[in-house]
Amino acid sequence: MHGTRTSSPRRAESFSAAQAVAAATDFAELRVGPGGLYYNEFRPQDAHCRIWRWRDGDEPRCLTPEGFSVRSRVYEYGGGAFCLGPDWLVFVNEADQQLYRQPLDGGDPVALTRGERRHGDLRQGRGVVLAVEETHAEGAVEHRLVAIGLEGGERLVLAEGADFYAAPVQSADGERLAWIEWQRPQQPWTRTRLCTLRRQADGGYGDPRCVAGDGEQAESLQQPRFTADGRLGCLSDRNGYWQPWMETAEGWAALPAMPADHAPAPWQGSASTWAPLDGERYLATWFEDGFGRLSLCEGDRPRDFSCGYTRFRSLDLDTRYFYAIVASSISAPAVLAIDRQTRGAQVIAGGESPLPAECISRPRPIHYPSGGETAHGFFYPACGEDSRPPLVVFIHGGPTSACYPVLDARIQYWTQRGFAVADLNYRGSGNHGRAYREKLHEQWGVVDVEDACAVVGYLAEQGLVDGGKAFIRGGSAGGYTTLCALAFHKVFRGGASLYGVSDPLALGRVTHKFEGDYLDWLIGDPERDAERYRARTPLLHADRIEVPVIFFQGELDAVVVPRQTRDMLQALRSRGVRAEGHFYPRERHGFRQAANLAHALDAEWRFYRHILDASR
């Protein structure tokens, strides 16, 4: 983006927080089955997830009965909450994390499992459901790969002993099983292994075999897939980006691919951003300048199927359509069917916009200098006539995650009120290759904070914002970056921490297994690098925060426990710094209930508005 100024979008009057939240309907995943297309829809109005079925020519039909919500909490972040068979679907019920079998026509669900085990990352096998199983007993959390029988729920352990498992998949003939596993202290985006089992003559399986990921070079593997003829492929970042590779008689070979990430960091199970077809043909999405592309790849001549959308998730296909969960800069997430011959797109569900197109602030990619390197993000101009508006800097969570150039009603809520927004993919974010992702190694609280501060000066120099009226906000890891920026730099007039980390060491003592070693990678060894932790702990440096801060926290949060937020709040109030706290009794890590989401958004805006009004 250059310094040339373009006209701002028109402002839509009275776009409320409740309207912004109501526009947050989303879709978790989709699957093609014998009865049509099935997808999992989340609605903030009741914070429930439900399976819907669509058949070509018919209206979508909800299959999930009252009293059920389809969501997994394996690894806390879930994913892979349902799978399909010839005449059934199996799903994870959110309340008890057990598996239920349901006829594809939408009959009553029947429990397949009982007890305290969690399930997720579901895949259909031959007569069984493949799943990642999670158990919590006497303070220990263990994971296994299991097969669950479809009649009586018989349980067979397929693999155990590794710390983590993901993405089980079976070949069409049932002869091979593949999955991803990794050991602590690795994360799924730093180093993983691809393993297989082969069926024996007696119907059982032989010993597991690692087929990729055991070399000297660290690589992250994800999304294993079998072709119709039984060849195994996966995404590997051994060449710097997550790209498709396929096994051959001579070993693994990279398929022709764009030099870009073909997947985000695997925070959740059952991601699907590529699908092999035949030969070297495959369907895939990748990121160019932060924008998603969808193409049918065949040699070096990809055929574009993006249809004007800028993010693609949960790819699947049948003989007529390519399917994906999509979004664009002017439309909310949607389930899309794209005709394989004509490339015509049909919206099956979602895709509505809460605002007229001419009133929507659209993302402009920005690349700006920070710390002697280049950081990335998206800029959303404010609606209205103010040529140098106040700025809100959005910091995504993760922190090895990413923001996307898609319609986010929360961002539009701010731009409609005369604020510009910078949504950052700071150094360490996903979707820009392994080298960029590794910029955060032992640098969390440094490079991300530098990038958050640098974007204010950059945009102010371009004449796009008032650098003296900048605010910063973030959730979870983004809350940590926010608090560090407020403590260690004098750039922002105030900020908001949504279930944000204020004490990394305290987080490390209580956080869940999936992130149990993450802080060692992000900051360092808690004992060896104790001084580094002290230097980057906002709670220990609360006396350096001189501007107002507002906090939002779920009382059931198991990732960032409420005590962290209360301690930070008290540390600021004890010094007379204006600090506001809002605690929600039934929320976990990341708010889901519409009333709470709307309350938090409105309270944050009023908080910033008061700061600006007080300075006039």
Q: Residue 228 CB: number of other CB atoms within 10 A? A: 11
Question: What pLDDT is stored for residue 339 in this prediction?
Answer: 97
Does 161 map to a domain?
Answer: no
Question: What pLDDT is stored for residue 72 in this prediction?
Answer: 97
Query: How much is the average pLDDT of 108-127?
Result: 94
Question: What pLDDT is stored for residue 47 in this prediction?
Answer: 85
Taking the C-alpha atoms of residue 15 and residue 317, their distance in angstroms, rounded to an integer, is 37
Buried b / exposed e over 6-31, threshold 16 CB at 10 Å, is eebbebbeebebebbbbbbbbbbbbb
Indicate the pLDDT class of residue 202, thresholds 50, 70 and 90: confident
pTM of the full predicted structure?
A: 0.93
> In the predicted model, is pLDDT for residue 5 greater than 50?
no
Query: How much is the average pLDDT of 105-126?
Result: 93
> In the predicted model, is pLDDT for residue 118 greater than 70?
yes
Does 206 map to a domain?
Answer: no
Question: What pLDDT is stored for residue 25 in this prediction?
Answer: 83
Question: What pLDDT is stored for residue 444 in this prediction?
Answer: 97
Question: What pLDDT is stored for residue 2 in this prediction?
Answer: 40
Task: Collect contacts of 539-542 with beta carbons under 8 A, ≥24 apart.
Answer: 539/502, 539/503, 539/506, 539/564, 539/567, 539/568, 539/571, 540/503, 541/487, 541/488, 542/487, 542/568, 542/571, 542/572, 542/575
Greater confidence (87 vs 292) lies with 292
Question: What pLDDT is stored for residue 139 in this prediction?
Answer: 81
Residue with tokens 């059934």: 88
pLDDT tens per residue, range 249-289: 889 999 999 999 999 999 999 999 999 998 889 999 999 98
Domain range for 512: 356-614
> In the predicted model, is pLDDT for residue 69 greater than 70?
yes
Question: What pLDDT is stored for residue 21 in this prediction?
Answer: 85
Question: What pLDDT is stored for residue 442 in this prediction?
Answer: 97
pLDDT tens per residue, range 86-104: 889 999 999 999 999 999 9
> In the predicted model, is pLDDT for residue 107 greater than 90?
no
> In the predicted model, is pLDDT for residue 3 greater than 80?
no
pLDDT tens per residue, range 354-372: 899 999 999 999 999 999 9
* Closest to 224 (Cα-Cα) out of 234, 239, 214, 211: 234
Query: In 458-548, which ranges are E strands?
Result: 470-475, 494-498
Torsion angle of alpha carbons 45, 423, 273, 62, nearest 10°? 10
* Closest to 442 (Cα-Cα) out of 222, 190, 181: 190
Taking the C-alpha atoms of residue 604 and residue 596, their distance in angstroms, rounded to an integer, is 12
Whole-number average pLDDT of the chain: 94
Residue 271 three-state SS:
coil
Sequence-separated (6 or more) residues with CB below 8 Å from residue 294 = 283, 284, 285, 304, 305, 306, 307, 309, 312, 315, 322, 324, 326, 338
Apex 226 CA angle, 192 and 293, nearest 5: 75
CATH number of 515's domain: 3.40.50.1820
Does 48 map to a domain?
Answer: no
Q: Residue 42 CB: number of other CB atoms within 10 A? A: 19
Sequence-separated (6 or more) residues with CB below 8 Å from residue 261 = 237, 241, 242, 286, 287, 430, 431, 432, 433
Does 518 map to a domain?
Answer: yes
Taking the C-alpha atoms of residue 469 and residue 333, their distance in angstroms, rounded to an integer, is 32
Supply 167's token pair. Answer: 């993405």
Question: What pLDDT is stored for residue 4 in this prediction?
Answer: 38
Are residues 484 and 538 in contact, defined by beta-carbon separation less than 8 angstroms?
Answer: yes
Indicate the pLDDT class of residue 434, thresholds 50, 70 and 90: very high
Does 87 map to a domain?
Answer: no
What is the domain count for the chain?
1
Does 255 map to a domain?
Answer: no
Question: What pLDDT is stored for residue 7 in this prediction?
Answer: 60
Are residues 2 and 461 in contact, defined by beta-carbon separation less than 8 angstroms?
Answer: no
> In the predicted model, is pLDDT for residue 519 greater than 80?
yes
Does 80 map to a domain?
Answer: no
Does 379 map to a domain?
Answer: yes
pLDDT tens per residue, range 521-577: 999 999 999 999 999 999 999 999 999 999 999 999 877 889 889 999 999 999 999
Question: What pLDDT is stored for residue 559 in this prediction?
Answer: 76
Lowest mean pLDDT among 152-161, 200-209, 486-495, 530-539: 200-209
Supply 535's token pair. Answer: 């230097």
